[in-house]
Chains A and B, each alone.
Chain A
């Protein structure tokens, strides 16, 4: 819980996409997995072991939590929600990724302009 946003970066692809799907709204594990597969057009496939480990790790670090007012229909299936800290970490990771992309793009544009 004491980790600062920077300590939690970089995120794995699974962590990143789980936070993205939960940013849209609360979800169960299975729905998250489907959502991630769809967003990445089948590239990122999250297995059951990885998903369970990721969810319990993210919850331990305080980035996600069980959704308030748990659904009464099926108590076995847990509904997850993103926390304020989770949103902060997701945005922090986006800033980091944008910096990487910005610098790489600039380097490529410079070589293109000078060489070709």
Chain B
């Protein structure tokens, strides 16, 4: 097998509630010969190689302890999943495609899939709540600086607008995950 050392970087904006779509995106790019080697928040690095084809899967765990993280990767490795990279608690795995094998899920029962969705949802809720007090401090500051400096109050206002947007997105995300969980639990 000859390796073509050619790297491609791609930019993609995606939302956490579409993580399954990211798996499909990575798997379909792999079918075209571009395989993810380094995930990022918006920038992804790919390697070109027409001789292989992978299925990509994402998992979410906040594991801080080194030994625990090694054991986690080792378990996936034993089951045929190569760890490609991690970004903000999301772990990217891949496995060579097998002809005739239609789906290779890493979550094979409802209760563990619900646990995954709940972990992600909790992270979104924590981030949203962490933003709220800072937002209020900023709103207070806008009002405070208003008579002293229009420039400073303008800058803080744009920060507040951005924060409101972030909190709305995080809240929307947690609602999306709530829907996914309810759909699974009620099934």
Contact = CB atoms under 8 A, between A and B. Distances in A.
Given A47-B106, A48-B79, A76 B74 contact: yes
B59 interface: yes
Contacts of B79: 29-30, 33, 47-48, 51
Q: How large is the interface on A (under 10, 10 to 19, 20 to 34, 35 or more residues)?
A: 20 to 34
Contact of B78 (A29, A54, A75): A29
Interface residues of B, number: 26
B75 A48 contact: yes
The 7 closest A-B pairs by CB, nearest first: A49-B106, A30-B78, A47-B108, A50-B112, A76-B74, A53-B112, A48-B79
Which DSSP category, helix, strand, loop or mixed, fits chain A's interface?
helix
Interface string B112-135: 110110000000000000000000
Nearest to B81: A48
B185 to A, nearest CB: 13
B72 interface: yes
A115 to B, nearest CB: 34
Interface string B60-90: 0100000100111111101101000000000
A115 B88 CA distance: 63
B106 A50 contact: yes
Interface in A68-83: 74-78
B75 A52 contact: yes
A106 interface: no
8 contacts: A14-B109, A14-B112, A29-B75, A48-B93, A49-B59, A49-B106, A51-B75, A77-B71
A28 interface: yes
Contacts of B140: none
A57 interface: yes
Nearest to A44: B108
B115 A53 contact: yes
Contacts of B115: 53, 57
B107 interface: yes
A13 B71 contact: no
